[in-house]
């Protein structure tokens, strides 16, 4: 399956502009298209729902919700929208508006992913695909990967391209959990197949 992920990522990263829009925009031009295809690949091969850690205004959530509806799954979102990063009350309201037609299949959890409650939601859930895009610090991202590490499917981790410490963390967690991983330097995000996922 890692070859299928590699093919999708490589085909949808050729036209990435690594400078337009500044450092934060590197590798994001085709990111949602990559996420859509790889999330669908995960759903087609693994049981479970879709997890999104860090949702902002819900544009990626909508893509996941469309897939969830197609495959009779649900989307579990974990985001405190508390102003700690880019999310606040107005961002939360934009999220609610942008995802309004899918609220029947979205489980909204307005908590931090590395709080006890957030960790329990993640660890007790069953997810074919996990999108890790929460608080962009080494500690927080490490906690999120740890929380998702027992799932039976594909994990995707954002912001590796512009935060060197997260790129380092991505490799550290590959070794720690014996994940199969793939990262293309043109992209912001990297992908894991969990150990449990490889055994299925």
Six token digits for residue 104? 């029947």
Give the pLDDT confidence of 39-97 residue by residue, as tens digits: 999 999 999 999 999 999 999 999 999 999 999 999 999 999 997 767 789 999 999 99
Number of domains forming the structure of the chain? 1
What is the residue range of 143's domain?
2-199
- What is the spatial distance between Cα 71 and Cα 17, in angstroms, rounded to a whole number? 33
Give the pLDDT confidence of 122-161 residue by residue, as tens digits: 999 999 999 999 998 999 999 999 999 999 999 999 999 8
* Number of residues that this document lists for the chain: 200
* CATH number of 118's domain: 3.40.50.150
Give the pLDDT confidence of 183-197 residue by residue, as tens digits: 999 899 999 999 765
Which residues, 6 or more positions from 171, have their beta carbon under 8 angstroms from its beta carbon? 181
- What is the spatial distance between Cα 47 and Cα 17, in angstroms, rounded to a whole number? 35
Residues 160/168, Cβ–Cβ less than 8 Å: no
């Amino acid at each position: 399956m890692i070859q299928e992920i590699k093919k999708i990522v490589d085909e949808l990263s050729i036209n990435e502009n690594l400078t337009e829009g500044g450092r934060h925009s590197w590798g994001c031009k085709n990111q949602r298209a990559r996420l859509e295809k790889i999330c669908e690949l995960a759903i087609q091969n693994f049981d479970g729902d879709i997890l999104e850690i860090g949702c902002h205004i819900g544009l990626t959530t909508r893509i996941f919700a469309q897939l969830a509806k197609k495959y009779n799954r649900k989307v579990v979102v974990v985001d405190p929208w508390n102003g700690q990063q880019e999310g606040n009350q107005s961002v939360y309201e934009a999220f609610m508006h942008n995802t309004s037609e899918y609220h029947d299949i979205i489980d909204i959890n307005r908590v931090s992913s590395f709080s006890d409650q957030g960790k329990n939601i993640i660890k007790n859930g069953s997810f074919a695909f996990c999108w890790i895009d929460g608080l962009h610090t080494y500690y927080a991202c490490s906690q999120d990967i740890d929380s998702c590490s027992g799932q039976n499917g594909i994990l995707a981790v954002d912001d590796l391209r512009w935060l060197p410490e997260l790129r380092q963390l991505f490799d550290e967690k590959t070794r720690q959990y014996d994940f199969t991983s793939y990262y293309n330097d043109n992209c912001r995000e990297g992908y894991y197949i969990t150990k449990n996922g490889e055994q299925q």
